[in-house]
């Protein structure tokens, strides 16, 4: 009692001295420092735990907001009871060598860790987080916990590194329930070593993370701009490692203009397809954003909110920038002569990124005229195609700088009558190759080597120069008594191939080549190109186009999907396939090289007809279908088989 009175007296005297200004500055500072240390100790809310006893002490202390676990700690009954009894927020940060473990045979009844979460799990009081230097699981359920384990209303924070290990590792226990937990960040909640027999996983919110370590939930997303519209489509599939995507899943589409102003926002329900023995559930959507400006740039964000059959929720976000709406574009044949034609390009609002353009004229499948580097300086540009034959039907195509066809047309040159003794010129015939030469030729898929049996012709070719063919893209050389052609197309009939060259006297000579057909493709990639041309355009490829696409695909300058979409954008496909069924059957042949199955045919024909009924043009509806089909797994498998 005397000691307590003396203490009070001393404190009273010190306080009086301070108030009267009688204590020195040093004394005041010392007192203030001592007092501050007491306050700091009371306010300190971060504690370390390396033993179960330290863990229990800190969990019970409502003033502790964070416990840093740096060593393995077994969660016994007392610790779990204290966790479940918390009334204030607590973060258990597992760092370094730390791990929380529910040990074997410690409990006689089900182990329940309850974060005291409200109806919204994000309001849970308990957070278990990955700390500095921590790899591997944060919570380990040991083998043989026979009583069962229930974990609910807990926030698990795994950070934003999706390569991190799963948070929970389960031993060989068949009574584990994860209910209404919330995963923050990426990565996965549960390490899946095998079958999940006895697991109950429901009502968990996974955000951008995964429920299971083997899960992928692959998302595909496409945006196809038109003149004043952008079609957004996408899908998400169950990958077979977890429960199926269910009705109630949605996609939120937000579109912003170049100034980052939001111009569109909509939530659309995902169309869920039932699974089959060969296909897991899949949810798709297709949405038109209309009323946009022509030739304008936009960005978009699509958020998939996925719900599975036991109400676990996932979020997947896809973004795309530099979407540019297109402008109108047309062309007109303004005049024709007996050996020329004038084609006028009306540029309209075609995106500037499409330039420069190329115009090419064809006689059948043979290119006869090319004008490259067409720029957009005025509202229209006229191109004079020359060197044509009189009274002949021609087609032409206009391509953008990505070699995508944006316009086509046809014309016929006028006929001319030649009177008198015929035509003269500097070209003479010095003899032709023969059928016997062709029979001895080494014919391959994209080249042919023809021995020249005519000695006079062989000598003239040997002494000649400037060898050319009448087919753009096909080159010819002469060496060791043989004419070598390269740049050919597999499985193509060559009936009118000629060689021109300059002989030693400076005269231009012409050599006709008998008909022959190249062999089938020697590589899978070449066969792929041949098949896509055949089924999309109903013709063999032109030589220049075939060589271009082989180079683009082989060197990964263009994806197989973009190649397919480019050719299917041609009007020939729609003109050839008149009905919806014919179009879908054609797409199956082009994209996966087979006939359709009944379920797929029904799905895609309905989707195509629905798009047309909503005001899509045939070409726009086709583009939407193609964009989705090339993202199907079957096409991806075909691409993988090509080695691309």
Task: Point out the least confidently predicted range of 95-104, 271-280, 392-401.
Answer: 271-280
pLDDT one-digit tens code per residue, 217-232: 778 888 888 767 788 8
Average pLDDT, integer, range 482-490: 96
pTM above 0.85, yes or no: no
Q: Are residues 512 and 623 both part of a single domain? A: no
Q: Are residues 91 and 193 both part of a single domain? A: yes
Closest by alpha carbon to 387, among 402, 367, 364? 367
Provide the percentage of residues in the chain whose pLDDT is more than 70. 81
More confident residue, 326 or 404: 404
pLDDT of amino acid 214: 72
DSSP class of residue 292? P
Rounded CA-CA distance 184/159 in Å is 7
pLDDT one-digit tens code per residue, 2-53: 344 434 433 343 333 333 343 333 333 332 333 333 333 344 488 999 999 9
pLDDT of amino acid 248: 78
Over its C-alpha atoms, the chain yields an Rg (Å, rounded) of 38
Domain that holds residue 493: 427-517
Task: Point out the least confidently predicted range of 73-87, 108-122, 465-479.
Answer: 108-122
Q: Are residues 489 and 455 both part of a single domain? A: yes
pLDDT one-digit tens code per residue, 603-640: 999 999 988 888 777 888 888 898 889 888 899 999 88
Q: Is residue 74 part of a domain?
A: yes
Provide the percentage of residues in the chain whose pLDDT is more than 90. 31
pLDDT one-digit tens code per residue, 534-556: 888 888 888 988 999 999 999 98
Q: Are residues 62 and 113 both part of a single domain? A: yes
Peptide bond connecting 643 to the previous residue in cis, omega within 30 degrees of 0:
no
65-68, long-range: CB < 8 A, 24+ apart: 65/89, 65/90, 65/91, 66/90, 66/91, 66/92, 66/93, 67/91, 67/92, 67/93, 68/93, 68/95, 68/98, 68/131
Per-residue pLDDT for 109 more than 80? Answer: no
Q: Are residues 134 and 50 both part of a single domain? A: yes
Q: Is residue 277 part of a domain?
A: yes
Q: Are residues 192 and 51 both part of a single domain? A: yes
Q: Are residues 336 and 470 both part of a single domain? A: no
**Cβ contacts of residue 105 below 8 Å, gap of 6+?**
144, 145, 146
Q: Are residues 112 and 178 both part of a single domain? A: yes
Q: Are residues 39 and 50 both part of a single domain? A: no
More confident residue, 480 or 215: 480
pLDDT one-digit tens code per residue, 339-398: 788 898 887 667 666 788 899 999 998 888 998 888 876 667 888 888 888 888 999 999
Q: Are residues 511 and 529 both part of a single domain? A: no
pLDDT of amino acid 13: 34
Q: Is residue 485 part of a domain?
A: yes
Q: Is residue 315 part of a domain?
A: yes
**DSSP codes of every residue in 435-487:** HHHHHT-EE-SSEEEEE---HHHHHHHHH-EEEEESSTT-EEEEETTEEEEES
Q: Are residues 315 and 234 both part of a single domain? A: yes
Asked which of 270, 296, 324 is the last residue of a domain, the reply is 324
Per-residue pLDDT for 450 more than 90? Answer: yes
Q: Is residue 452 part of a domain?
A: yes
Q: How far is CA 291 from the centre of its chain?
A: 26
Asked which of 324, 349, 381 is the last residue of a domain, the reply is 324
Q: Is residue 556 part of a domain?
A: yes
Q: Is residue 213 part of a domain?
A: no
Asked which of 517, 542, 565 is the last residue of a domain, the reply is 517
**How many domains does one find in the chain?**
6
More confident residue, 274 or 570: 570
Q: Are residues 292 and 237 both part of a single domain? A: yes
* Torsions phi, psi for 162 (to 5 deg): -70, -10
- What is the number of alpha carbons within 13 Å of residue 455 lying toward its C-beta? 0
CATH code of the domain covering residue 462: 2.60.40
pLDDT of amino acid 106: 65
CATH code of the domain covering residue 533: 1.10.3130.20
């Amino acid at each position: 009692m005397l000691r307590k009175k003396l203490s009070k007296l001393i404190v009273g005297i010190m306080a009086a001295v301070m108030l009267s200004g009688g204590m020195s500055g040093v004394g005041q500072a010392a007192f203030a420092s001592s007092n501050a240390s007491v306050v700091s100790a009371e306010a300190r809310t971060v504690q370390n735990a390396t033993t179960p006893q330290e863990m229990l002490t800190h969990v019970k202390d409502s003033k502790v907001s964070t416990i840093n676990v740096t060593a393995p700690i077994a969660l016994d009954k007392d610790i779990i009871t204290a966790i479940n009894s918390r009334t204030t927020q607590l973060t258990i940060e597992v760092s370094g060598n730390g791990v929380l473990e529910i040990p074997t045979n410690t409990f006689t009844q089900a182990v329940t860790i309850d974060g005291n979460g409200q109806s919204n799990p994000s309001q849970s009081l308990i957070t278990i987080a990955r700390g500095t230097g921590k790899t591997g699981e944060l919570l380990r359920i040991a083998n043989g916990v026979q009583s069962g384990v229930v974990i609910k209303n807990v926030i698990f924070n795994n950070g934003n590194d999706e390569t991190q290990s799963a948070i929970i590792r389960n031993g060989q226990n068949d009574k584990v329930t994860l209910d209404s937990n919330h995963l923050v960040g990426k990565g996965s909640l549960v390490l899946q070593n095998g079958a999940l027999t006895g697991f109950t996983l429901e009502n968990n919110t996974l955000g951008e993370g995964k429920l299971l370590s083997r899960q992928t939930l692959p998302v595909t997303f496409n945006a196809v701009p038109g003149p004043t519209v952008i079609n957004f489509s996408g899908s998400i599939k169950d990958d077979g490692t977890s429960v199926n995507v269910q009705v109630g899943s949605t996609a939120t589409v937000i579109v912003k203009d170049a100034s980052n102003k939001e111009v569109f926002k909509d939530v659309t329900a995902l169309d869920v397809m039932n699974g089959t023995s060969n296909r897991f559930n899949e949810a798709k959507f297709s949405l038109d954003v209309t009323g946009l400006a022509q030739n304008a740039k936009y960005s978009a964000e699509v958020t998939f909110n996925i719900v599975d059959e036991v109400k676990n929720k996932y979020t997947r976000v896809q973004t795309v920038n530099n979407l540019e709406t297109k402008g109108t574009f047309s062309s007109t044949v303004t005049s024709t002569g007996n050996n020329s034609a004038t084609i006028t390009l009306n540029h309209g609002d075609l995106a500037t990124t499409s330039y420069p353009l190329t115009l090419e004229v064809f006689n059948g499948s043979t290119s006869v005229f090319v004008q490259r580097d067409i720029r957009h300086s005025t509202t229209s540009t006229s191109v004079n195609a020359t060197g044509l034959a009189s009274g002949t039907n021609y087609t032409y195509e206009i391509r953008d700088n990505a070699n995508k066809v944006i316009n086509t047309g046809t014309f016929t040159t006028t006929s001319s009558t030649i009177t008198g003794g015929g035509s003269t010129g500097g070209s003479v015939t010095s003899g032709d190759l023969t059928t016997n030469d062709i029979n001895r030729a080494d014919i391959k898929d994209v080249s042919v080597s023809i021995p020249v049996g005519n000695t006079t012709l062989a000598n003239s070719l040997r002494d000649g120069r400037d060898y050319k063919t009448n087919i753009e893209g096909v080159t010819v050389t002469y060496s060791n008594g043989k004419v070598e052609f390269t740049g050919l197309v597999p499985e193509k009939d060559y009936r009118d191939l000629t060689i021109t060259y300059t002989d030693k006297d400076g005269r231009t000579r012409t050599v006709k080549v008998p008909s022959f057909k190249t062999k089938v493709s020697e590589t899978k990639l070449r066969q792929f190109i041949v098949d896509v041309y055949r089924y999309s355009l109903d013709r063999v490829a032109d030589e220049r186009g075939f060589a271009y696409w082989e180079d683009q695909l082989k060197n990964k300058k263009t994806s197989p999907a973009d190649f397919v979409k480019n050719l299917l954008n041609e009007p020939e496909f729609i003109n050839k396939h008149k009905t919806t069924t014919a179009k879908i059957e054609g797409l199956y042949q082009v994209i996966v090289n087979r006939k359709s199955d009944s379920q797929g045919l029904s799905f895609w024909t309905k989707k195509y007809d629905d798009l047309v009924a909503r005001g899509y043009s045939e070409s726009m509806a086709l583009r939407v279908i193609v964009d989705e089909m090339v993202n199907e797994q079957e096409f991806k498998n075909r691409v993988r088989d090509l080695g691309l």
